[in-house]
């Protein structure tokens, strides 16, 4: 898993998003849960990081996952409004939490209000990024929220 994610994020091998989304889709099918009414939302990168990388790895995985699952994919409703150091550079939970505080916003509330959302990210460590994004989504009126990640570091 580490090699697949590393290849996608740092070697820009976008084809790796296919087997990663297959793994996530197969995992989600093993959970006794109805995903039918959910919209898939990827965890966004800052504009600077996405420009430098050329793509958002979580969005590639999320889009393919949504297609396999037959779910709506919403890529632009949740944005990262500030650039901050990568969470992987920070070791303490408090630093990670502070790093993503007020980092996200919902730009089109109408696309998510009252909806059920699957928030997808590639890797989580402390959960701070997911919690920060989830809080913003809930404040925007998301009804139910589930987070799926490829790996825990």
Q: What is the largest CA-CA distance in the chain?
A: 39
- Specify the pTM: 0.89
Architecture of domain 2-152: 3-Layer(aba) Sandwich (3.40)
pLDDT for residue 96: 56
The domain locations on the chain are 2-152
C-alpha dist (Å) from residue 97 to 38, 100, 101, 132: 27, 6, 6, 8
The DSSP letter of residue 71 is -
Residue 138 Cα to chain centre, angstroms:
15
Q: 3-class SS at 42?
A: strand
The pLDDT score that the predictor gives to residue 93 is 47
Task: Output the pLDDT for position 83.
Answer: 60
pLDDT along the chain (153 residues), means of 10: 93 96 96 94 92 95 98 94 60 57 88 97 88 94 97 88
Other residues' Cβ atoms within 10 Å of the Cβ of residue 110: 11
Burial of 64 (0-12, 13-18, 19+ CB in 10 A): buried
């Amino acid at each position: 898993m580490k090699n697949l994610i590393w290849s996608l994020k740092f070697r820009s091998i976008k084809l790796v998003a296919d087997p990663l989304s297959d793994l996530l889709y197969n995992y989600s099918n093993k959970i006794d849960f109805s995903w039918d009414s959910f919209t898939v939302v990827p965890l966004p990168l800052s504009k600077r990081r996405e420009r430098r990388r050329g793509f958002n790895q979580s969005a590639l995985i999320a889009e393919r996952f949504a297609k396999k699952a037959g779910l709506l994919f919403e890529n632009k409703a949740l944005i990262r409004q500030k650039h901050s150091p990568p969470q992987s550079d920070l070791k303490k939970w408090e630093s990670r939490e502070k790093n993503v505080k007020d980092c996200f916003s919902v730009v089109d509330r109408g696309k998510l209000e009252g909806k059920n959302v699957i928030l997808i990210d590639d890797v989580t460590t402390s959960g701070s990024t997911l919690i920060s994004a989830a809080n913003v989504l809930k404040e925007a009126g998301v009804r139910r929220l589930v987070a799926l990640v490829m790996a825990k570091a």
